[in-house]
């Protein structure tokens, strides 16, 4: 018990304490992932309610033991069609989807190692641990470093490279064409976690692949989530017929868990349609990102380069990070404060997520609040 207490006190003293704060007042929220503002969309809410009445609250079982429902199937068909892949598989969460893909590929391809961008999401790291793979971690978006690691590798197994499409802690986009060029030279393949790109990037919201004018022929598996741009909950993987079958047969985080509630699948399908029909949301988002960056630059607020809704300001140490976060909150702007282990030591940052629910005056209020922390950054 003494050790547990000590550990908690240590956490507090280092300013690394995590709190589950709720929005109680009328702060503007700049920390959500509801990029297109669909979480409160009336049409999606109605679809959810109607599906709840019709199908009940829970899915009542795992997908392989009665939990698979026509609404899952309809959503999978729509996702595959939209993404331009042969098949899709719906998961309960993106965390589980990443575990599934990595452990299943590790097992069936007899992998001993995986090539992973340093800034990849925690669920990718956990999948690597669970798959007993040696982590070959290349510097963020440094594909020459990836090339070096690939060249040095002595394993005869196929080379698997895992990367986010849009990096959640940097807001930048993976240079997929360059990554593919390198990995192809070593006859390997790339798997993409497009949690933050899906719905946001590309002319039609297909994500990082569309952004780079690439397709299913270039990347065999793409993972995406519903809890971000689609404003609902859950996740999916699209891929070839065989790869999706493989996941159904072997992925423990698919097999041994309760399936996504059918009402969520039904409302996500409506959200997918709304996202396609309301292209203006993506266009509008682009406009406010541009406005925010232009004005921030004019006001001398140092932003990391990013053309996505994820905008970052380095605050370096945890103390300054918490200080700036608190000032911004007092000014009515609620942003993310990223500290280790989410980001590397000494590279703490504030994360500002812009969404289609923000209006220009919200952005201007944020800019005004940011000028108050200028002296600390
Ligand atoms: C959010 C996220 C996940 C996990 O998705 P959940 O559905 O929230 O479990 C995985 N990868 C990345 C990059 C994410 O941002």
The model's pLDDT over 287-297, given as tens digits with 9 standing for 90+, comes to 999 999 999 99
**The predicted structure's pLDDT at residue 229:** 98
Average pLDDT taken over every residue of the chain: 97
Shortest-distance atom of ligand 1 to CA 225? 7
Q: 25 falls in which pLDDT band (50, 70, 90)?
A: confident
Mean pLDDT across 344-369: 97
pLDDT of 56 > 90? The answer is yes
Query: What DSSP state is assigned to residue 65?
Result: G
Maximum C-alpha span of the chain: 58
pLDDT of 70 > 90? The answer is yes
Of the candidates 132, 113, 116, 134, the residue with the CA atom closest to the CA atom of residue 124: 116
**The predicted structure's pLDDT at residue 14:** 87
Of the candidates 6, 32, 76, the residue with the CA atom closest to the CA atom of residue 309: 32
Mean pLDDT across 88-94: 98
- Residue 269 CA to residue 76 CA, distance in Å, equals 9
Minimum CA distance residue for ligand 1 atom 14 = 195
Q: Please state, for a pLDDT cut of 70, what percent of the chain lies above it.
A: 100
pLDDT of 1 > 80? The answer is no
How does DSSP assign 317-347, residue by residue?
Answer: SHHHHHHHHHHHHHTTEE-EEE-TTTS-TT-
Q: 149 falls in which pLDDT band (50, 70, 90)?
A: very high
Domains of the chain, each with CATH number or no CATH: 42-277 (3.40.640.10), 279-376 (3.90.1150.10)
Give yes or no: 140 in active site.
no
pLDDT of 147 > 90? The answer is yes
Shortest-distance atom of ligand 1 to CA 120? 13
Start-to-end CA distance of the chain, whole Å, equals: 39
Q: Which residue is associated with the tokens 């064409």?
A: 177
10-14, 212-216, 227-231: which range is least confident on average? 10-14
pLDDT of 24 > 80? The answer is no
Find the 27 Cα to ligand 1 centroid distance in Å.
25
Q: Which of 164, 170, 210, 278 is catalytic?
A: 164
Per residue in 273-331, pLDDT (tens digit) is 999 999 999 999 999 999 999 999 999 999 999 999 999 999 999 999 999 999 999 99
* 251 three-state secondary structure: coil
Per residue in 117-135, pLDDT (tens digit) is 999 999 999 999 999 999 9
Mean pLDDT across 169-187: 97
């Amino acid at each position: 018990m003494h050790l547990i207490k000590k550990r908690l006190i240590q956490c507090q003293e280092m300013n690394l304490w995590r709190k589950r704060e709720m929005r109680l007042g009328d702060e503007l929220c700049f920390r959500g992932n509801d990029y297109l503002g669909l979480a409160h969309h009336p049409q999606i809410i109605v679809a959810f309610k109607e599906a709840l009445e019709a199908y009940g609250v829970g899915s009542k079982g795992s997908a392989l033991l009665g939990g698979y429902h026509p609404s899952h199937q309809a959503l999978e068909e729509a996702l595959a069609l939209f993404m331009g892949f042969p098949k899709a598989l719906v998961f309960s969460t993106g965390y589980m989807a990443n575990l599934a893909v990595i452990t299943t590929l590790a097992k069936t391809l007899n992998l001993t190692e995986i090539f992973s961008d340093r800034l990849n999401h925690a669920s990718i790291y956990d999948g690597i641990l669970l798959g007993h793979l040696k982590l070959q971690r290349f510097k963020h978006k440094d594909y020459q470093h990836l090339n070096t690691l690939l060249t040095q590798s002595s394993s005869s197994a196929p080379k698997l490279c895992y990367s986010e499409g849009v990096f959640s802690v940097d807001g930048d986009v993976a240079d997929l064409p360059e990554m593919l060029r390198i990995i192809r030279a070593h006859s390997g393949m790339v798997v993409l976690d497009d949690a933050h790109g899906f719905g946001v990037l590309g002319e039609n919201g297909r994500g990082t692949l569309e952004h780079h004018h690439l397709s299913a022929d270039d990347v065999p598996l793409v993972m995406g989530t519903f809890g971000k741009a689609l404003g609902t909950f859950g996740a999916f993987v699209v891929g070839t017929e065989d790869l999706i079958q493989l996941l159904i047969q072997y992925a423990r985080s698919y097999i041994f868990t309760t399936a996504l509630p059918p009402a969520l699948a039904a409302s996500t399908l409506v959200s997918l349609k709304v996202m396609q029909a309301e292209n203006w949301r993506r266009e509008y988002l682009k406009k406010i990102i541009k406005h925010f960056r232009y004005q921030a630059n004019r006001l001398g607020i140092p932003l990391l380069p990013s053309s996505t809704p994820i905008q970052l300001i380095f605050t370096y140490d945890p103390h300054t990070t918490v200080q700036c976060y608190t000032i911004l909150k007092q000014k009515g702007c609620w942003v993310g404060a990223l500290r280790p282990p989410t980001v590397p030591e000494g590279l703490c940052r504030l994360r500002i997520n812009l969404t289609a629910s923000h209006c220009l005056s919200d952005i201007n209020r944020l800019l005004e609040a940011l000028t108050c922390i200028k002296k600390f950054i």
